[in-house]
């Protein structure tokens, strides 16, 4: 089942690996093959798995996981479909390469490349136009959290980053507190639950605009909201089984097949 197929059912967990700027051919392929082998020998494990390697490995990783049920995604896409944008990659190219997902608005893109909510919104729209699921990332910095601004920051980012036409079947939200990424620190479960409930509420409001709150709520219930930031096999169970948490966007721990698989198993 894809997110959005059944509006009344809790979505299956999505366990997504964001490899970031890691992986040469040999280790990337070994990782992908190990995961594909686990899926093949396990059968339907109850979660959906996604890997987002660097652009350079998309073609080869796509072949390595072909037929396994593991989905392929990219870590970014450009907002235009083609043209004079040296070094960029469009959603059309990703679709052509077999991707089904594109992460947009990751905090490292927002900070390294000065991506604003408006840019993220247009990238998500570009992904949608090519039939890709956009994984839209939001999350507060440490300073914002310390000043009590977490909920207002996430609300503002969602309002600015979700394009018209977003739905449970073409959009996943990833809540990634910036201060938790790569630090080994995570919010306490109550804080994660509070933000995820807010995200679902804000998604319902946004997607219900012009269609009625009921439709917005149905879409929001079916939408997958992932937690990301220092997820590992030890903390996965307490974070990923919370209400309103429908999987994880995993960085460092997604580079080890055993750890990534353990995280996925603990999401159920």
Q: Which of 95, 150, 230, 267 lies at the binding interface for ligand 13P (CB under 6 A)? A: 230
18 binds ligand 13P (CB under 6 A): yes
Backbone angles phi, psi at 29, to 5 degrees: -65, -40
106 binds ligand 13P (CB under 6 A): yes
Q: Which of 249, 257, 263, 264 lies at the binding interface for ligand 13P (CB under 6 A)? A: 249
The nearest distance, CB 105 to ligand 13P, in angstroms, is 11
Q: Which residues are catalytic?
A: 106, 176
Place of tokens 């959603």: 91
Crossing angle of the two packed helices 150-161 and 117-129, in degrees rounded to 10: 40
Using CA atoms, how far apart are residues 66 and 51, in angstroms rounded to an integer?
A: 12
The residue range among 7-15, 65-73, 203-211, 228-236 that interacts with ligand 13P, by the rule CB under 6 A, is: 228-236
251 binds ligand 13P (CB under 6 A): yes
Backbone angles phi, psi at 168, to 5 degrees: -65, -25
Question: In the stretch 163-182, what mask flags binding to ligand 13P with x, by CB under 6 A?
Answer: -------------x----xx
* CA distances, 258 to each of 66, 186, 232 (Å): 20, 21, 11
Point out the residue whose Cβ comes nearest to ligand 13P: 251
The residue range among 6-14, 61-69, 126-134, 224-232 that interacts with ligand 13P, by the rule CB under 6 A, is: 224-232
Give the residue among 33, 72, 78 at the shortest CA–CA distance from 54.
72
231 binds ligand 13P (CB under 6 A): yes
Crossing angle of the two packed helices 189-208 and 213-222, in degrees rounded to 10: 140
Our CB check for ligand 13P shows the closer of 89 and 218 to be 89
Q: Which two tokens stand for residue 240?
A: 């990923």
Our CB check for ligand 13P shows the closer of 4 and 229 to be 229
Place of tokens 């994984």: 135
Q: Which residues bind ligand 13P (CB under 6 A)?
A: 18, 106, 176, 181-182, 228-231, 249-253
């Amino acid at each position: 089942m894809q997110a959005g197929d059944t509006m009344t059912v809790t979505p299956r967990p999505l366990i997504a690996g964001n490899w970031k700027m890691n992986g040469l051919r040999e280790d990337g392929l070994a990782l992908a093959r190990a995961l594909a082998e686990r899926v093949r020998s396990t059968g339907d494990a109850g979660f959906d798995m996604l890997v987002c390697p660097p652009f350079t490995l998309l073609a080869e990783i796509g072949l390595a996981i072909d037929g396994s049920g593991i989905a392929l995604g990219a870590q970014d896409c450009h907002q235009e479909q083609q043209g004079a944008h040296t070094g960029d990659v469009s959603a059309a190219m990703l679709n052509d390469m077999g991707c089904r997902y594109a992460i947009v608005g990751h905090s490292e893109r927002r900070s390294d490349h000065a991506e604003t909510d408006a840019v993220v919104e247009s990238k998500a729209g570009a992904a949608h136009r090519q039939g890709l699921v956009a994984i839209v990332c939001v999350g507060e910095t440490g300073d914002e959290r310390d000043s009590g601004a977490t909920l207002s920051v996430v609300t503002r980012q969602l309002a600015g980053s979700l394009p018209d036409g977003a739905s449970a079947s073409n959009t996943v939200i990833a809540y990634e507190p910036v201060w938790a990424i790569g630090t080994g620190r995570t919010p306490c479960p109550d804080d994660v639950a509070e933000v995820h409930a807010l995200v679902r509420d804000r998604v319902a409001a946004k997607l219900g605009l012009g269609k009625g709150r009921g439709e917005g709520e149905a879409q929001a219930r079916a939408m997958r909201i992932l937690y990301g930031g220092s997820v590992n096999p030890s903390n996965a169970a307490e974070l990923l089984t919370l209400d309103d948490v429908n999987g994880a966007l995993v960085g460092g721990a997604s580079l080890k097949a055993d750890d990534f698989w353990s995280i996925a198993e603990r999401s159920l």
